[in-house]
Amino acid sequence: MAIGALIGAYQEDDSGSLRALLPLAGRTLIEYQVKCAAAAGAAPIVIMVERVPQALQDAFERLRLDGVGVFPVSDVNEAVTRFEAGSMILLLGDGIVSSVDLVSSLAGEADTAIATVPDDERHEDFERIDAHSRWAGVAVVDARLLGSTAAILGDWDLQSTLLRRAIQEGARLVRAADQASEPLLVQSADELADFQRHLILASKGGRNDWTSRYLLPPIEDFATEHLMETPIWPSWLIWGALALTLGGAICFSRGWLGAGLVLLIISMPLDLIAGRLATIRLKPLPTRMLSRLALWPAAGIALLAIGLWETRHGTGWGSLVAAGSACAFAEAARIEKATMPPGGELWLFSRRNAIVLAVPFALAGVWTAYLLAALFYAAMSFFIVQRVRHHPSS
């Protein structure tokens, strides 16, 4: 069944500005709410707002550039016309910060449902439903109920009236406290600090190689916290990593080995940072993203460039053979390790692990030895993957 979203954005915070404009993860609260609704499959997304200041208009424009359209309305009857008859409507309260999981779970309800939190001191700012529950700020109602509520609304608050009528019609109550992150009803930016830290921490996800797990987290955290407040798109960082990798390959082919390694080192965390920014902004990067997929073959080109330079200016054709063999073993291991258990590839050959491996050899100026070490590392990784695949008990 089709589902739309209705989000309130008309109440003021402690400073006299709109709650919807409170800063969250480098954007605004309303942008986060809209992204949550979009992630749950809601369309159209209607914003109830009495006035549209320039800051709110800027937020709408950023959403549009991200591919999420919104429809600001100031009249409830106009809001009703935005939704198809018979559709369900995801209702997000003004100033509510909720997890994507809770919004998505409510959006999947076939009938009217209301998320609740306990009626206790911790949730005293939430609207009371009964002696035991308060509204968590997320609900699903049908378009018919919105239309009939608009007809009798008068000077009453839309969200509160719609909530009361949904309860009277027997809406199912869903305890939101069971979710991974409880909803918040915020009045100031300070109240969003803990939730923002939770978003940053949750964006990290798993790491498949020892370099990204043990060496890069401080760099990732620092860059993510500073870049999330900028207009930089995550895809730009991926393309930057690819350009640096290819630039490193060019440097290797010219004999600027140290410069090439520096470019590769700089490229290491960029795709991880991009993934975290995309997660925080609730728009994960595509799995088959071209620039991301190209990082692996680009790293192979860089390794071959080292072998070609050493072949021409040092140890002969053996260096190029070692580089090519390392690439072949690495690619074979990458293809075969699809069946590896989670975390099983931590110590195997990877793009980042290979870059870090080059550092001590570069400091010692023995690049041919590095190619032999890379060959041994890639070959052992391949044989380990084969052992695990064909002998699962190992």
Terminal CA-CA length for the chain: 48
What digits encode the pLDDT tens for the residues 109-147? 889 999 999 998 888 989 998 888 999 999 999 999 999
- pLDDT surpassing 90 at residue 308: yes
27 within some domain: yes
317 within some domain: yes
Q: Taking the complete model, does pTM exceed 0.85, yes or no?
A: yes
Residue where one domain finishes, among candidates 188, 211, 245:
188
Q: What is the pLDDT of residue 393?
A: 63
Same domain, 214 and 342: yes
Angle CA 53–56–61, to nearest 5: 125
Q: What is the pLDDT of residue 16?
A: 81
Q: What is the pLDDT of residue 95?
A: 92
196 within some domain: no
C-alpha span between 133 and 139 (Å, rounded): 14
30 within some domain: yes
Cα 26 from chain centre: 13
Tally of domains in the chain:
2
Q: How big is the chain by its Cα radius of gyration, in Å?
A: 27
Same domain, 140 and 221: no
Same domain, 115 and 83: yes
Nearest to 12 by CA among 1, 21, 3: 21
Same domain, 239 and 366: yes
The number of C-alpha atoms within 13 Å of 150 and in the hemisphere containing its C-beta is: 15
Which CATH number do you get for residue 180?
Answer: 3.90.550.10
- β-strand pairing of 27-28 with 172-175: unpaired
CA-CA distances (angstroms) from residue 114 to 44, 91, 125, 302?
20, 9, 17, 56
Residue where one domain finishes, among candidates 132, 155, 188:
188
Sign of CA dihedral 51, 55, 58, 64: negative
Residue where one domain finishes, among candidates 159, 188, 217:
188
325 within some domain: yes
Q: Which two tokens stand for residue 142?
A: 């049908």
Q: What is the largest CA-CA distance in the chain?
A: 87
Same domain, 84 and 126: yes
Same domain, 161 and 232: no
193 within some domain: no
80 within some domain: yes
CA-CA distances (angstroms) from residue 325 to 261, 282, 328, 332, 377?
20, 40, 5, 10, 11
Q: Highest mean pLDDT: which of 68-77, 318-327, 384-393? A: 318-327
Same domain, 170 and 212: no
**Position 11 confidence tier, pLDDT thresholds 50, 70, 90:** confident
Same domain, 115 and 74: yes
- pLDDT surpassing 60 at residue 178: no
Least confident segment among 169-173, 175-179, 289-293, 328-332: 175-179
Domain region containing 136: 3-188
- pLDDT surpassing 80 at residue 34: yes
Which CATH number do you get for residue 315?
Answer: 1.20.120.1760
Q: What is the pLDDT of residue 153?
A: 77
Same domain, 184 and 333: no
Same domain, 169 and 208: no
291 within some domain: yes
Same domain, 212 and 176: no
What digits encode the pLDDT tens for the residues 215-232? 999 999 999 999 998 989
